[in-house]
Amino acid sequence: MATFTVYTSYLLTSLSGYSSAIHCNYINSVQFDASNPYVNDINFYFSGATAGDFKFLSTNVASGTGFTANKIYMLIQLVSGSTNPPIASKWKIVEVTSNISGYTGIITPLQLTNTKFKVSLLNYTGFTPYILNNAINGLNYPSRFPNADDQLCFGDETFFLGNVNAEIHADIYTTNLSIILPLNQFNSSNNGTWDGLSSVYATELGIYDGNGNLVAIGKFNDPVEKNSNISRTVLFAIDF
């Protein structure tokens, strides 16, 4: 006995006008122990999903809304072991449209959610390889050649076709300094025009480092009067 992992996805294709699109990008897996992995059926169903989950799947192309599907395929890959991932070039594709009871050419949401799709691994080696460019008519997956640069590819997205709304914030770190100018201090000036009697008027405040460098400078928006009858507290903050 050995452990095997089966990876799956599915693909809906359209024959009724709209282009077929890429497979579902939810890749699920199931593991089992077996001496012969091919004697297994893989069941695939939309458990928990309702027809409402296919609300945009239209059965009437002329309605002009949503998308349509005419065929459903199961993508499948059998891998040895329990941790090995699938290999992009090793996928197989199997049409399972015939599993749908009452299928009349166009797939309805109810048909998808009411059907248990089944693929037997007995014929696994004979399944058609899933090659993106062949399986999805119209995707035109580009080659490695530089002259294919005029074809869009995955990873070419540049613009976000949407809006962003947000409130923003900034963290402000503040150094707070409080300087008290009591009644009997800071009442004189060495300004050559001061008369030695009148009030002094402060216009600026300098902050110095230990080497006498003026490292910050503050200016009052109004000259601040100071005399022996006025005490002041100067609060100021430097934001970082």
Partner 1 sequence: MAFIEKKDPVVLNIKLTSCGRELLSTGGLTFKSFAIGDSEIDYGFNIETQHNPYYSRILRPVDVNPNIISFIPQTISGDPFNVIPSIPSSSYIVTNTTVPVGFFNSGATAFNVVGNQIKQPDIMIEMNQIAGGYSLNLYKAPTYGVSGQEPAVGDLLLVKWTLNSNTTGYIVSGSTPTPYLMYQISGITSGTLAGNNLVVTVDRKLPNFSGYPTTAKAGAMAFYNIVNLTGETILNQFSTQYVDESVIAFLTNSQCDTAIFPFWNMSIIFTENIAGVSGITANPPGGDRAFGQYNSVIYGGFVSYIQNQSPTLKKLGVIHYSNASPANVYAEGFYLKTPVLDIPTIMWHKSLTKKMGLKLTAWGDQQLLTGATKSLNLVYYDLGDPEGNIVGKIFTDLKIFVIEDQELLFAMSYKSNRSWTLPNYIISNNTIVGCI
Q: Which of residues 139-158 bind partner 1 (CB under 8 A)?
A: 139-145, 148, 150-158
* Binding mask of the shown chain, residues 5 to 44, with x at each position contacting partner 1 by CB under 8 A: -x-xxx-x----xxxxxxxxxxxxxx-x-x-x--xxxxxx
* Pairwise CA distance, residues 233 & 180, whole Å: 4
Q: Are 31 and 80 in contact (CB under 8 A)?
A: no
By CB under 8 A, residue 107 contacts partner 1: no
Q: Give residues 189-228 in contact with partner 1 (rule: CB under 8 A).
A: 189-195, 198, 200-210, 212-226
Specify burial of residue 149 (Cβ count, 10 A radius: 0-12, 13-18, 19+): exposed
* Pairwise CA distance, residues 75 & 92, whole Å: 6
Which residue, 101 or 160, has its beta carbon nearer to partner 1?
160
Report the greatest alpha carbon distance in the chain: 110
Give Cα 213 to chain centroid, integer Å: 50
Residues 6+ apart with CB under 8 A from 187: 199, 200, 226, 227, 228
Least distance from C-beta 94 to partner 1, angstroms? 13
By CB under 8 A, residue 126 contacts partner 1: no
Which residue, 101 or 172, has its beta carbon nearer to partner 1?
172
* Pairwise CA distance, residues 41 & 27, whole Å: 18
Least distance from C-beta 114 to partner 1, angstroms? 13
By CB under 8 A, residue 229 contacts partner 1: no
By CB under 8 A, residue 128 contacts partner 1: no
Least distance from C-beta 65 to partner 1, angstroms? 5
By CB under 8 A, residue 70 contacts partner 1: no
The residue count for binding partner 1 (CB under 8 A) is 143
Which residue, 101 or 213, has its beta carbon nearer to partner 1?
213
Q: What is the CA radius of gyration of the chain?
A: 38
* Pairwise CA distance, residues 131 & 239, whole Å: 60
Which residue, 47 or 229, has its beta carbon nearer to partner 1?
47
